[in-house]
Chains A and B, each alone.
Chain A
Amino acid sequence: MSATADEEPPVVELDNVEIVYDRTFLAVQGVSMEAEEGDIVALLGPNGAGKSTILKMISGIGRSERGEVTRGSVYFEGEDVTNADTKEMVGRNVTHILEGRRVFEDLTVEENLRCGLYRDGRRIRYDNSDYEIAFEYFPQLEDLLDVEAGYTSGGEQQMLVISRALIHRPDLLLLDEPSLGLAPQLVVDIYETLRKINREEDITMIIADQNAKRTLEIADYGYVLENGQIELQDPADVLMNREEIKEFYLGTSAEESRYSDIRHYKIRKRWK
């Protein structure tokens, strides 16, 4: 750790981390990254690059899937939390929004939100004012409270899981593919809201997503992963303008027209 006394340590820091699943499968190798307080950090890369794995080892849920940090260290606010379990990380105000809009389908929207109030079962009394933080950013949820979550639309489900996490009052929010399978305009809206939440509630966020353009638009810093390793890293605005990113993730390369055939070939080669 390089943090000095007058310098706040980053919220999360991964130092040369190697993650192995099931004691056999090497998922992530030599990854060093950090998220400064109040930042949105983008974690980009294709399917299977290790984005989810990294989030899961930060939140500890990876431990329950037989994942293990076998080398390197994970620090949370300067303290070593390598291989900590979910219970501990929740206790440190880390909330993880898992991939795939995991609403509790047979519970109503209100009951889903209520689950965000759970803290070691201490909370017994509650009322709708506990959900204010959710309604502030996603007012449409207020009309859906009595609807079974399984019957709401994809966008509403994504809003619901974000709201449920907000009610949990995290300092660090980990989001796994929040844009997956949503209509483009909805993605824009949700990302704008995330940015607002990040600013107004002072919640540090790490967003893993394949939608590089949208994610970098709201992020402060970005990492590009491939095959379990970090390929690129830069402040978001710098990263967005790098040729590799433009070419492979944004599809807006300046040389697009001239080298379109080559580009297609390269994309196929790298993504398949």
Chain B
Amino acid sequence: MVEAGGLFSALVTGIGIGALYALVAIGFSLIYKITGVLNFAQGQFALLGAFLVVVLSTSLPFWFVEVQIPVYAAVVVTILIGALLGVLLERLVFRHFIGEPVLSVIIVTLAFVGIIEGGSRFFISAQYRAYPQELQPGWSLSLPLDTELQAPFVLGVALALLTVAALMAFFRYTVLGSILRASASDQQAAMVLGVSIERTIVIAWALSIAITSIGGILLAMSSGGVGYTIADVTILVFAAVVFGGLDSIPGAFIGGIVVGVLRQFGVYMGEFLMPGLDSVFPMVFLLVVIMLMPYGLFGTERIERL
């Protein structure tokens, strides 16, 4: 039955896993905040990051080249590749949609869902891949009431907080951060100050994919390896950002935590009530939020009508 220790433990783990959702959600919010695009492939980018680490660090035959670099280097390289992918996508894809309705780019992200998943099945691996030992740290943080927070969650909470603080400072205190917010609010008025829209798109996607990769890697670490279920995080991220306000970075963080906790409570209650509550809770929450506060906690009133 319900007891304090179990509830507290669910809360702690929920916050931990919520921080990982938060990282992916921050990536989502960044793109929306700067370019107005809802990225339906957010989970796929997390998946890609999680997979790349295994590919780079184990001698998995990778198509025709065989690479193997130290694990920690692989993590760094993965994040860099994520950023590079953002630059590449702008060059190859998004540039051609400047001036088109934002809906066309949203449809493009739907295409990414299939392309990334299919691509990684073909080029990387079609199965679950266990993470190397170095990325399965055994330590954990001891908390009161006999609860523990596993290493990936500890890292997740720390990195998510750090990312939120860094991004908030960037948007609040730098010229570039201000101009990015400015061009989100009035693109033409920003252009006559010398802003290039291509550049804002590059910044949005490069930062987003890099941060999302970190989230993906930590999600994989928390379950010991990477499988295609990681991509399902998209739907939880939607719940998180709708709650926080689509274009708010701190909102995405808080939303991620709330969704994580709800999910963990679902898992905990599912043990003696009925299974499946862990997927129900966050979605019921999403529905209630959309009905009661369509702009979320901190969102500006430019929400996309879905």
Which A residues form the contact surface with B (CB < 8 A)? 59, 61, 64, 66, 86-87, 90-91, 95-98, 102-107, 111-112, 114-121, 123-124, 126, 161, 164, 168
Contact = CB atoms under 8 A, between A and B. Distances in A.
Contacts, number: 79
Contacts of A164: 193
Given A121-B175, A121-B176, A124-B175, A104 B191 contact: no
Contacts of A59: 192
Contact of B188 (A61, A107, A115, A124): A61
Contacts of A97: 192
B186 interface: yes
Given A106-B300, A111-B181, A168-B193, A98 B188 contact: yes
Contacts of A112: 182
Interface stretch (B48-56, B78-86, B127-135, B194-202): B194-202
B182 A116 contact: no
Given A106-B300, A111-B178, A126-B175, A118 B191 contact: no
Interface in B135-177: 174-176
Contact of A107 (B176, B182, B194, B199): B182
Chain B binding surface SS class: helix
Contact of A90 (B175, B176, B192): B192
11 contacts: A59-B192, A86-B191, A90-B193, A96-B192, A107-B178, A111-B181, A115-B179, A119-B194, A121-B199, A124-B174, A168-B193
B189 A98 contact: yes
Interface in B251-306: 300
A265 to B, nearest CB: 39
A118 B176 contact: yes
Contacts of B199: 121
A118 B178 CA distance: 9
Interface in B181-234: 181-182, 185-186, 188-196, 199
Contact of A102 (B99, B175, B189, B194): B189
A97 B188 CA distance: 10
Given A86-B194, A87-B194, A120-B194, A104 B176 contact: no
Contacts of A161: 189
Contacts of B182: 104, 107, 111-112, 115
Contacts of A111: 178, 181-182
A123 B175 contact: yes
A102 B186 contact: yes
Given A102-B186, A111-B182, 8 more contacts: A90-B192, A95-B192, A98-B189, A105-B185, A106-B300, A107-B185, A118-B195, A121-B176
Nearest to A66: B99
B192 A61 contact: yes
A104 to B, nearest CB: 4
A115 B175 contact: yes
A124 B190 CA distance: 17
Nearest to B199: A121
Given A117-B175, A124-B174, A126-B175, A104 B181 contact: yes
Nearest to A105: B185
A114 to B, nearest CB: 5
B194 A114 contact: no
B193 A115 contact: yes
B193 A118 contact: yes
B191 A95 contact: no
A104 B99 contact: no
A76 B199 CA distance: 26
A64 B189 contact: no
